[in-house]
Structure 1
Amino acid sequence: MTLLGPADVRQLAERLGIRPTKQLGQNFVHDPNTVRRIVRAAELAPDDVVLEVGPGLGSLTLALLENGNRVCAVEIDPPLAGALPETVGKYAPEHADRLTVIAGDALRVELSGVAPTALVANLPYNVAVPVVLHLLATVPSLRRGLVMVQKEVADRLTAGPGSRVYGVPSVKLAWYATSRQAGKVPASVFWPVPNVESGLVAFTVLGDDKSDIPTRPETFAVVDAAFAQRRKTLRAALAGWAGGPVEAERILRAAGVDPKLRGEQLTVEDFTRIASQRRRAAASG
């Protein structure tokens, strides 16, 4: 099976009249070795149904199909969405029946009738975090994933408590899944060449279906408040959320959290206990 090389990518883009835009975060991978490495790193099972967001010209799509998986590709750019089945038909006709293309925004599209079990994607840098968190919240069938993002974003997503880059994305991803960095991707394998390095983030969704747990929005509200003012102690940062610094301190102490700590020192379990403690306090009057 033939994958897309640099000449193929340029020819496809020219034929479609595609000029990569920063607005859509379009940087197309043109190296077959890279997309095969991404597929290997994803550790897909033969029966995994892969959700690919932003397939672009189809480089990674072809590698996923070559691996034997069914692929549901969501593409926001209409010309690219329309051309993908034709590209697969040309380069991998024997796998064309295993591709489904949905034209739309991954943050809004309906995946009715599709139950993807793995997310594998080269995500546009400007929407990577919202897309990952949205899909984990709305697609309960997802069990694992591997996404290529800006290296700086990969660092934030996988950071642990106490890290300089630990923040809202780190905690929210940890709510849904365990994560790790799975390698770097050089800028030279993209067209056009971005001015940043990319990184791979692998994640495994935690056993329970956490998308429907009522404490998720409550916990995320605590997380947002704690990191809105990073330099403040939790007692001060959560004052607005709790109804005042005194009440914030009471809730924190009841949850077993030192009010003098800062948000970057807490685990996702700590934030969940704080949210649960406030709910119990509200229920008791």
Structure 2
Amino acid sequence: MTNRTMDGHRARKRFGQNFLHDEQVISGIVAAVFPKPQQHLIEIGPGLAALTRPILERADHLHVVELDRDLAARLENDPTMAGKITVHRNDALKFDFTALARQLDGKLRVFGNLPYNISTPLIFHLLSALDVIDDMHFMLQKEVVDRMAAGPGSKTFGRLSVMVQQCCKVTPVLEVPPHSFTPAPKVDSAVVRLEPYEHPPYPVADRALLNHVCHTAFHQRRKTLRNNLKELISADTLEQLGINPADRPEVRSVEDFVKITNWLAEHSSNDEAH
């Protein structure tokens, strides 16, 4: 992609900007999202509108969250999008997706080529708004998608895997090489579909507590659950829950971490841990 096709916009490192220009990849993402009129579509980080334009061809309106003032102004002043786009000049990490869904009186379909420097905290932010989200399609660093989709026993299985899989069906959609972007990132990318469960297979009493349990369990991956979780739950109780305290965290399942969390939520005084 030349500077001319980027319309003179220089990618800004502080915003983690890598602009997608591969038409085949763009078509693949649009097909995966499969937008339709009357849906409440919201794009995070539209950038130079590589996805925005083809999505708008199939949808009647689109909300976008853009932090870069120059790019936001371009979108607002683009005559081809007049009346079809609402630009929210905001940081996606602070954006209130629940408030927008209430305003639109419907669930959101969220998509975007996420800035890789904020992708994991942004995913966690969106997980807190799952009640108002139908589905999500994101371009991410491939390593992050691998972690989301990883199963127990994998070296990439960890806190992100548990937190996402507990509440969403995770489907890797396509892999994207660095040359599909300008500037080319130093890593491979991938697109993932996240579909929140209406009824999670492993319901959790407290998602914030699950996050704390996972953070504590995976903080030192080479240590056992007995060592990592000793401040939260005893080895005897882990055994009562059917979990071997001598196991390392990555060999246990999403269900196991939910069991631990639900036990802690039920025994909130947690006398046993002391």
TM-score, length of structure 2 as denominator length: 0.88
Unmatched 5+ residue regions in structure 1? Answer: none
- Offset of 1:164 from its aligned partner? 1.3
Partner Cα separation in structure 2 for residue 35 and residue 51 of structure 1: 17
- When residues 35 and 129 of structure 1 are mapped into structure 2, their CA distance, relative to the original with a 3 A threshold, is same
Pick aligned residue for 2:245 from 259, 264, 275 = 259
Match of 1:227 in 2: 218
Kindly state the Cα deviation for residue 190 of structure 1 after the two structures are TM-superposed.
1.2
* Alpha-carbon displacement from aligned partner over 1:104-161 (angstroms, at most 9, x marks no partner): 1111123422455211110011111211221121252111111001111111111111
Runs of 4+ in 1 over 6 A off after TM superposition: none
Structure 1 residue 58 corresponds to structure 2 residue 49: yes
Structure 2 CA distance for partners of 1:231 and 1:153, relative to 1, 3 Å = same
The structure whose residues are more often helix, as a share, is 1
**Equivalent position of 1:10 in the other structure:** 6
* Aligned-pair CA distance for 1:35: 1.7
Contact 2:139 2:191 in 1 (8 A): yes
- Aligned match of 1:199 in 168, 171, 190? 190
Residue 273 (structure 1) aligns with: 259
Equivalent residue for 1:81, pick from 58, 62, 72:
72
* Deviation of 1:22 (Å): 2.1
- What does residue range 1-285 of structure 1 map to in structure 2 within 5 Å? 9-11=5-7, 14=8, 18-68=9-59, 70-87=61-78, 89=79, 92-93=80-81, 96-111=82-97, 112=99, 113-114=103-104, 115-208=106-199, 214-240=205-231, 242=232, 247-282=233-268
> Across the two proteins, how many residue pairs are aligned to each other?
265
Question: How far apart are the structure 2 equivalents of 1:271 and 1:141?
Answer: 25
| Residues in 2 aligned to 1:184 and 1:125: alpha-carbon distance in whole angstroms | 15
Deviation of the 1:214 alpha carbon: 4.5
- What letter is aligned with 2:153? G
Residue pair 2:6, 2:48 contacting (<8 A) in 1 also: no
Return the TM-score normalized by structure 1: 0.85
- Flag the 1:281–1:110 CA change in 2: closer, same or farther, 3 A: closer
1:162 is matched by which residue type in structure 2?
A: G
Which structure 2 residue ranges, 5 or more long, are not aligned? none
What's the secondary structure of 2:86's corresponding residue?
A: strand
The letter for the 2-side match of 1:33 is Q
After TM superposition, the structure 1 stretch with the greater mean CA deviation from structure 2, 58-67 or 250-259, is 250-259
Aligned-partner Cα distance in 2 for 1:100–1:221: 36
Question: What is the Cα deviation at residue 222 of structure 1?
Answer: 0.8
Contact 2:171 2:193 in 1 (8 A): yes
Q: CA deviation at 1:175?
A: 2.1
